[in-house]
């Protein structure tokens, strides 16, 4: 999987998670729905955090990975 594909997947997941979180915040009927609240707490917020950190640190990770490949080839 190329970096471009990975970034596209992470970005789309981040956007969808953000939309679900915004719906939870701004739609009062969803705030009382226990199953939706569990979805937000257990899946959406961790996904937002992980995808955001991944997109932020992806260039650093790719640089480290390329340095490791060069070290192995030498």
pLDDT digits over 18-47, tens only?
999 999 999 999 999 999 999 999 999 999
Q: Please give the pLDDT value at position 49.
A: 96
pLDDT digits over 37-74, tens only?
999 999 999 999 999 999 999 889 889 989 998 888 87
What is the C-alpha to C-alpha distance for residues 67 and 32, in angstroms, rounded to an integer?
Answer: 50
Residue 16 buriedness (CB in 10 A; 0-12 / 13-18 / 19+): middle
Q: Is the pTM of this model over 0.85?
A: no
Average pLDDT, the chain: 93
Angle between helix axes 45-73 and 3-26 (nearest 10 degrees) is 170
């Amino acid at each position: 999987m190329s970096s471009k594909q990975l970034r596209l997947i992470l970005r789309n997941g981040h956007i969808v998670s953000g939309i679900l979180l915004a719906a939870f915040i701004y739609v009062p009927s969803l705030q009382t729905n226990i199953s939706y609240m569990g979805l937000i707490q257990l899946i959406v917020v961790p996904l937002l955090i992980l995808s955001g950190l991944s997109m932020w640190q992806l260039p650093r990770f790719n640089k480290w990975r390329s340095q490791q490949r060069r070290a192995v080839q030498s």
